[in-house]
Chain A
Amino acid sequence: MIDFAGLATAAAVGTSTRPLAAADLPEPILGVVQDADGRDPAEVLLDAAAGYATARRARPAPGPDLPALELPAPSRPQVPDAVVALLHRIAGAGALREPLQREAFAALAARGLTLPYHLMLPLLAEVNRPGVARDVAGLLDARWRAIVALDPVWRTVLDRGAGPDDAADPQVWEDGSAEQRAAYLAAVRRSDPAAGRALLDGPGFAKENAETRELLLRQLTHGLGADDEPLLEARLDDRAKGVRELAAALLAWLPGSAYVARAESLAGAHVRLQKRLLRGPLTVVAPVPVTAATRRDLYREKDLDNQPAERLHLFDVLGIVPTDRWPSLVGATAADLATGPAEYLDAPIDLRPAFAVAAMRWRDADLAAALGEADPSLLPVLLPVLEPGLRDRLVVDALAGETGAQLVTLIVPQPMSPTVAVAALDVIGRLALQRDQAYRASELLTAVGRHADPLAAPALLDGLADLSGRLPEKPPVVVKDGIRAASTALQLRQALAEALLAYPLLTPEADPKG
Chain B
Amino acid sequence: MADPGDRWTVRRVDDAAPDDQVRKAGRRLAIPTPWSDVGVTGSLLFGRCLGSGKTPYQVSIDVAEPRYKCTCPSRKFPCKHSVALLYLWAEGRVDETGVADFAAEWAGRSAERTARREAPPAERTPEQEQAALLRAAERDARVDAGLADLSLFLRDLVGRGLAADSQHRPRRLQEQAVRLVDAQAPGLARRLHDLAGITDATPDWPARLTEGLGRVHLLVRAWQNRATLPDDLVATVRAHLGFTLRSEDVLATPGVHDTWVVVGLRDADEDRVSVRRVWLWGRTTGRPALVMFFAAGGAAFTSNLYPGTELDATLHFYPGRSPLRAAVGERDEHARAVAPWTPPALTVAEASGAWRSALAGDPWLGEWPVVVAGCLQKDVATGFGLVDDAGDSVAVVGDKAWPALAVAGGASCVFSGELSADGLQVGAAVVDGELVVL
Chains A and B come from one and the same complex: yes
| Chain B neighbourhood of A152, CB < 8 A | 380
Q: Do B409 and A62 touch (CB < 8 A)?
A: no
Q: Kindly identify, within residues 12 to 64 of chain B, every residue whose CB is under 8 Å from any CB belonging to chain A.
A: 14, 23-24, 26-28, 30-33
How far, in angstroms, from A14 to B424 measured CA to CA in the complex?
35
How far, in angstroms, from A507 to B402 measured CA to CA in the complex?
32
Q: Do B28 and A49 touch (CB < 8 A)?
A: no
Q: Do B10 and A150 touch (CB < 8 A)?
A: no
Q: Is the CB of A239 closer than 8 A to any CB of chain B?
A: no
| Chain B neighbourhood of A15, CB < 8 A | 158-159, 161
How far, in angstroms, from A393 to B75 measured CA to CA in the complex?
54
| Chain A neighbourhood of B30, CB < 8 A | 89, 92
From B355, which residue of chain A is reached at the shortest CB distance?
Answer: A60
How far, in angstroms, from A93 to B31 measured CA to CA in the complex?
11
Q: Is the CB of B422 closer than 8 A to any CB of chain A?
A: yes
Q: Is the CB of B245 closer than 8 A to any CB of chain A?
A: no
Q: Do A60 and B352 touch (CB < 8 A)?
A: yes
How far, in angstroms, from A58 to B386 measured CA to CA in the complex?
18
How far, in angstroms, from A66 to B385 measured CA to CA in the complex?
9
Q: Do A63 and B405 touch (CB < 8 A)?
A: no
Q: Is the CB of A121 closer than 8 A to any CB of chain B?
A: yes
Q: Is the CB of A198 closer than 8 A to any CB of chain B?
A: no
| Chain A neighbourhood of B183, CB < 8 A | none
| Interface 9-mer from A68-76, A228-236, A439-447 | A68-76
Q: Do B206 and A53 touch (CB < 8 A)?
A: no
CB contact under 8 A between A120 and B211, given known A13-B161, A61-B422, A69-B378:
no
How far, in angstroms, from A108 to B374 measured CA to CA in the complex?
33
CB contact under 8 A between A60 and B395, given known A11-B206, A49-B211, A118-B403:
yes
Q: Is the CB of B213 closer than 8 A to any CB of chain A?
A: yes
CB contact under 8 A between A11 and B158, given known A53-B211, A68-B376, A92-B27:
yes
How far, in angstroms, from A50 to B423 measured CA to CA in the complex?
20
> C-beta contact mask, A40-63 vs B, less than 8 Å → 1, else 0?
111101111111111011111111
Given A11, A40, A70, A89, which contacts B213 in the complex, CB threshold below 8 Å? A11
| Chain B neighbourhood of A57, CB < 8 A | 211, 359, 420-421
Interchain nearest-CB distance for B264 vs A (Å): 15
Given B26, B394, B419, which contacts A63 in the complex, CB threshold below 8 Å? B394
Q: Is the CB of A143 closer than 8 A to any CB of chain B?
A: yes
| Chain B neighbourhood of A117, CB < 8 A | 402-403, 406-407
Given B28, B163, B214, B374, which contacts A12 in the complex, CB threshold below 8 Å? B163
Q: Is the CB of B415 closer than 8 A to any CB of chain A?
A: no
Q: Is the CB of A88 closer than 8 A to any CB of chain B?
A: yes
How far, in angstroms, from A362 to B52 measured CA to CA in the complex?
55
| Chain A neighbourhood of B402, CB < 8 A | 117, 121, 147, 151
Q: Do B155 and A63 touch (CB < 8 A)?
A: no
| Chain A neighbourhood of B385, CB < 8 A | 62-64, 66
Q: How large is the interface on A (under 10, 10 to 19, 20 to 34, 35 or more residues)?
A: 35 or more
Q: Do A49 and B155 touch (CB < 8 A)?
A: no
CB contact under 8 A between A150 and B161, given known A43-B155, A94-B24, A117-B407:
no
| Chain B neighbourhood of A69, CB < 8 A | 375-378, 405, 409-410
Interchain nearest-CB distance for A144 vs B (Å): 8
Q: Is the CB of B145 closer than 8 A to any CB of chain A?
A: no
CB contact under 8 A between A11 and B210, given known A42-B159, A60-B421, A92-B27:
yes
| Chain B neighbourhood of A12, CB < 8 A | 161-163, 206, 210
Q: Do A8 and B210 touch (CB < 8 A)?
A: yes
How far, in angstroms, from A4 to B214 measured CA to CA in the complex?
12
> C-beta contact mask, B324-346 vs A, less than 8 Å → 1, else 0?
00000000000000000000000
| Chain B neighbourhood of A46, CB < 8 A | 154-155, 158, 213-214, 217
| Chain A neighbourhood of B378, CB < 8 A | 64, 66, 69, 150
Most buried by A among B214, B375, B384: B214
Interchain nearest-CB distance for A395 vs B (Å): 29
Q: Do A63 and B384 touch (CB < 8 A)?
A: yes
| Chain A neighbourhood of B155, CB < 8 A | 40, 42-43, 46
Interchain nearest-CB distance for B166 vs A (Å): 9
How far, in angstroms, from A94 to B27 measured CA to CA in the complex?
10
Q: Kindly identify, within residues 181 to 225 of chain B, every residue whose CB is under 8 Å from any CB belonging to chain A.
A: 206-207, 209-215, 217-218, 221
Task: Apart from A16-B160, A63-B377, list 8 A-B contacts with CB within 8 A.
Answer: A12-B163, A14-B159, A14-B163, A42-B155, A46-B213, A93-B28, A120-B406, A121-B403
* Across the A-B interface, the 6 shortest Cβ-Cβ residue pairs: A63-B385, A92-B27, A14-B161, A49-B214, A68-B375, A63-B393
28 contacts between A and B (CB under 8 A): A4-B211, A8-B209, A11-B158, A12-B206, A12-B210, A42-B156, A42-B159, A49-B211, A52-B210, A54-B363, A59-B352, A60-B421, A61-B395, A63-B387, A63-B396, A64-B384, A68-B376, A69-B405, A74-B409, A92-B23, A92-B28, A93-B27, A94-B24, A117-B402, A117-B407, A118-B403, A121-B403, A143-B406
Please report A residues at the B interface, Cβ cutoff 8 Å: 4-5, 7-9, 11-17, 40-43, 45-54, 56-64, 66-74, 82, 84-85, 88-89, 91-94, 117-118, 120-121, 143-144, 147, 150-152, 487-488, 491
